[in-house]
Amino acid sequence: MADIVVKTEDVVKEYRMGSNILRALDGINIEIERGEYISLMGPSGSGKSTLFNMIGALDQPTEGQVYIDGQNMSQLSQRQIAAFRCHRVGYIFQSYNLLPVRSAHGNVTLPLIFAGMPEKQRNERAEKLLDMVGLGDRMYHLPDELSGGQCQRVAIARALANDPSIILADEPTANLDTITGREIIDLIKRLNREQGVTVISATHDLKMLDVSDRIVDIRDGLVERVRNRDEIEIEVGDVGGEHDGDAGAHD
Amino acid sequence: MQQRAPIEEQIDLPFVESLRISFQSLKIRFGRSIITTAGITLGIAFLVSVWTNNEIGLALQESGRQSTINTFEDTTETGISTKDIWLIIMSLIVCVVGIANSMLMAVTERFREIGTMKCLGALDGFVVRLFLLESGFQGFSGALIGALIGTLGAVLLGLKDYGLDLFFYFPLLPAQPEDGTMRLGVIVIILLGCILGMILAVIGSSFPAWRAAKLPPAEAMRTEV
Ligand SMILES: Nc1ncnc2c1ncn2[C@@H]1O[C@H](COP(=O)(O)OP(=O)(O)OP(=O)(O)O)[C@@H](O)[C@H]1O
Ligand SMILES: [Mg+2]
């Protein structure tokens, strides 16, 4: 039986700007299984980030329900929502969103502080996580002193701090060059495979296709289609062939 | 690894953690903190100097000394000229607006940070407490320095106007002259300046921080300055 970790029911999000109402999500229904790697694809403005915010409890839907682990998110108290963000989800953003006043290590310890972990333990955990993302030698640098790829690694370590069951990544590679982007994707994929974290990632990035279990195409606030891994593999071959030929070499 | 346990309630952080986070934030942002604090210092220095200058004038006037320069033409019954009242009110307004503005700017720059902290599990109350602590500290130190600078300024002006007589009649403590009016004295003015600076800084910072903390994180993080 499928273990559904995220389920949305007719999720609608409207933004009001003066007298205009913009319907960014127009009734989204998706179900995501535990351990899946899902990519949300779609043109700019199609509503990917908006959906990301709904699933991550970073904003509230205008209509409809979001269930995480079977729990209806609209029924949670403020404190439960804070605990949910702290423990169940790890967020990764296009623009990293590191706290500029805290070192790499300080950024990773913050969610651990919020979780109430004692100091010694959280320092060790932060070190371990930063080591794992390959930043063992840069732990006490401020975000300003790190490259984009390194910042994103810190963000990944931070997202993993409290052992979340879901990683939400909104265009995590959009600000990175191809090689660094590839490394970040491989890192996220490794976490998905080795630790069983469910990954939901909004992306334009075709490199993300071949690591995805499923791709959800979003257009104008609606799910246009859902593609499975086997359908994807064929297309990735095509895409690779069109661009540079190396990715498509294995048929 | 994950079970379907019901979602727990977020815990409150011990006060020391908030204290530590806020001080670290002030320290690393030192340059920016200094600019914000300087805004408070300036406002309070201006207010305290005008006010103290006025007290000095009144005290020496009552002692029978006349300023070598000023003449008190339009003196009211109580001895405060309408011009001086205006000056005090104006300096108070400049002080309030200046401090509120400099705190508001400093918080607005950090909306994104507030949204990010909420993503990591911060409670609204924690965010507000962080800003209360930071601004309380900035407000107190900024206002204290400002009050001292303001007093020094007023003393120098007084020296120029009254010479060394100033020190014989210096209105350090509160007093009640025969005419029944009240003199606050310089010490009380310095104290009031510090309290005012701190209150203004704390309100000017915590109120916008509270508003930002109440926003859904997605909105707080969208704000670009
Ligand atoms: N806070 C907001 N206020 C008003 N309109 C918004 C807001 N957030 C998003 N929108 C609008 O909602 C629509 C969907 O935006 P969204 O950010 O979800 O798109 P996206 O698919 O993530 O695009 P991109 O690939 O460019 O990041 C857009 O038309 C956008 O202008
Ligand atoms: Mg987006």
A250 pLDDT more than 80: no
- B10, B28, B134, B215, best to mutate vs chain A, most A CBs in 10 Å: B10
Query: Which residues of chain B does A60 touch, with a Cβ-Cβ cutoff of 8 Å?
Result: 216
One domain, residues A147 and A175: no
Tell me how far apart the alpha carbons of residues A132 and A158 are, in angstroms, rounded to a whole number. 12
Tell me how far apart the alpha carbons of residues A198 and A200 are, in angstroms, rounded to a whole number. 7
One domain, residues A54 and A75: yes
Q: Does a structural domain hold residue A200?
A: yes
Domain boundary among A163, A186, A215: A163
Domain boundary among A163, A179, A205: A163
One domain, residues A111 and A231: no
B160 pLDDT more than 50: yes
Tell me if B220 sits within 8 A of B118, measured CB to CB.
yes
For position A197, which CATH number holds? 3.40.50.300
pLDDT of residue A244: 43
Query: Which residues of chain B does A165 touch, with a Cβ-Cβ cutoff of 8 Å?
Result: 1-2
One domain, residues A127 and A21: no
The SS3 call for residue A87 is: helix
pLDDT tens-digit map of A229-238: 777 665 655 5
Nearest CA in chain B to A52: B218
Q: What is the mean pLDDT of residues A96-124?
A: 95
pLDDT tens-digit map of B32-63: 888 888 888 988 998 899 888 888 888 877 77
The distance of Cα B159 from the centroid of its chain, to the nearest Å, equals 27
Task: Please judge whether A59 and B218 are an interchain contact, meaning their C-beta atoms are less than 8 angstroms apart.
Answer: yes
Domain boundary among A137, A163, A189: A163
Query: Which residues of chain B does A53 touch, with a Cβ-Cβ cutoff of 8 Å?
Result: 216, 218
Nearest atom of ligand 1 to the alpha carbon of A47: 18
What ipTM did this prediction achieve?
Answer: 0.88
Q: Does a structural domain hold residue A207?
A: yes
pLDDT of residue A234: 57
A120's CB contacts (< 8 A; 6+ apart) are none
Residue B78 or B177, more confident: B177
One domain, residues A66 and A188: yes
Q: What does residue A172 show for φ and ψ, rounded to 5 degrees?
A: -65, -15
Query: Which residues of chain B does A75 touch, with a Cβ-Cβ cutoff of 8 Å?
Result: none
pLDDT of residue B75: 47
- B179: confidence class by pLDDT, cuts 50, 70, 90: low
Size of interface A-B (CB pairs under 8 A): 102
pLDDT of residue B224: 66
Window from A141-150, A194-203, B115-124, B170-179 with minimum mean pLDDT: B170-179
Exposed/middle/buried for A92, CB within 10 Å: 0-12, 13-18, 19+?
A: buried
Distance (Å) from CA A119 to ligand 1 centroid: 39
Task: Please judge whether B121 and A111 are an interchain contact, meaning their C-beta atoms are less than 8 angstroms apart.
Answer: yes
Tell me if A82 sits within 8 A of B118, measured CB to CB.
yes
Q: What is the mean pLDDT of residues A128-148?
A: 93
One domain, residues A138 and A172: no
The most confident of A99-103, A180-184, B62-66, by mean pLDDT? A99-103
Name all residues whose Cβ lies below 6 A of ligand 1. A 15, 17, 22, 24, 42, 44-50; B 222
One domain, residues A23 and A109: no
Tell me if A33 sits within 8 A of A5, measured CB to CB.
yes
Closest CA to B175 of B193, B188, B165: B188
Tell me how far apart the alpha carbons of residues A165 and A35 are, in angstroms, rounded to a whole number. 8
One domain, residues A5 and A61: yes
pLDDT of residue B225: 60
Q: Does a structural domain hold residue A129?
A: yes
- B7: confidence class by pLDDT, cuts 50, 70, 90: confident
Q: Whose Cα sits closest to atom 8 in ligand 1?
A: A50
Annotate B180-198 with DSSP letters as a single string: S--B--HHHHHHHHHHHHH
Q: Which long-range contacts (CB under 8 A, 24 or more apart) does A120-125 make?
A: A125/A161
pLDDT tens-digit map of B28-38: 888 888 888 88
Model-level pTM?
0.86
Tell me how far apart the alpha carbons of residues A139 and A155 are, in angstroms, rounded to a whole number. 12
Q: Does a structural domain hold residue A143?
A: yes
Q: Which domain holds residue A22?
A: 1-88+165-245
Q: Please say whether the dihedral angle defined by the alpha carbons of residues B91, B94, B99 and B102, taken in this order, is positive or negative.
A: negative
pLDDT of residue B64: 67
Q: What is the mean pLDDT of residues B175-190?
A: 77
Q: What is the mean pLDDT of chain B?
A: 83
One domain, residues A34 and A141: no
Q: Which of A22, A25, A60, A208 to mutate to test the pocket of ligand 1 (most atoms within 8 A of CB)?
A: A22
**Inter-helix orientation angle B15-28/A104-114, to 10°:** 160
A251 pLDDT more than 80: no
Please state the domain extents for chain B: 31-63+79-218
The percent of residues in chain A predicted with pLDDT above 70, rounded, is 92
Distance (Å) from CA A94 to ligand 2 centroid: 8
The SS3 call for residue B167 is: helix
Distance from CA of B137 to the nearest CA of A (A): 18
- B175: confidence class by pLDDT, cuts 50, 70, 90: confident
Task: Please judge whether A80 and B7 are an interchain contact, meaning their C-beta atoms are less than 8 angstroms apart.
Answer: yes
What's the number of domains chain A is made of? 2
Tell me how far apart the alpha carbons of residues B107 and B223 are, in angstroms, rounded to a whole number. 12
pLDDT tens-digit map of A85-96: 999 999 999 999
Q: In what order do the strands lie in the sheet with A20-33?
A: A20-33, A4-17, A63-68, A71-72
Task: Please judge whether A97 and B118 are an interchain contact, meaning their C-beta atoms are less than 8 angstroms apart.
Answer: no
pLDDT of residue B28: 85
One domain, residues A147 and A226: no
B13 pLDDT more than 50: yes
DSSP strand pairing (A4-17 vs A63-68): antiparallel
Closest CA to A165 of A31, A50, A11, A4: A4
pLDDT tens-digit map of A64-77: 999 999 899 999 99
The structure tokens 């600076």 sit at B197
Of A86, A101, A162, the CB nearest to B25: A101
Tell me how far apart the alpha carbons of residues A205 and B182 are, in angstroms, rounded to a whole number. 74
Window from A96-100, B103-107, B168-172 with minimum mean pLDDT: B168-172
One domain, residues A116 and A21: no
Q: What is the mean pLDDT of chain A?
A: 89
Query: Which residues of chain A does B112 touch, with a Cβ-Cβ cutoff of 8 Å?
Result: 97
Q: Whose Cα sits closest to atom 26 in ligand 1?
A: A44
pLDDT of residue A235: 61
At B215, list the tokens. Answer: 């926003």
One domain, residues A234 and A122: no
Q: Does a structural domain hold residue A190?
A: yes
Q: Does a structural domain hold residue A251?
A: no
